[in-house]
């Protein structure tokens, strides 16, 4: 910790910069693939075919 706050400021910026990447990684690993697989199985082929046009 310094008087001008450069160490604290750089640590805070580094921590806040990593939060979006951690959020995206968690969604991709936990929920992302499940949602796409679920959507693919829930809707009938007729509806899915219209959506891909």
Domain-embedded: residue 29: yes
Give the pLDDT confidence of 1-53 residue by residue, as tens digits: 455 555 555 666 667 778 888 888 888 888 777 777 887 788 888 887 887 65
Residue 24 Cα distances to 30, 31, 50, 53, angstroms: 10, 10, 30, 29
Number of domains in the chain: 1
0.75 exceeded by pTM: no
Range of the domain at 33: 20-53
pLDDT at 4: 53
Domain-embedded: residue 14: no
Domain-embedded: residue 33: yes
pLDDT at 28: 80
pLDDT at 24: 86
The structure tokens listed for 6 are: 């450069």
Contact 33, 40 (CB under 8 A): no
Domain-embedded: residue 36: yes
pLDDT at 53: 59
Domain-embedded: residue 42: yes
pLDDT at 7: 58
The structure tokens listed for 25 are: 């990684």
């Amino acid at each position: 910790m310094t008087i001008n706050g450069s160490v604290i400021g750089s640590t805070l910026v580094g921590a806040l910069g990593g939060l979006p990447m951690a959020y995206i990684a968690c969604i991709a690993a936990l929920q992302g693939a499940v949602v796409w697989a679920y959507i693919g199985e829930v809707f009938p082929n007729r509806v899915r075919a219209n959506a891909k046009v």
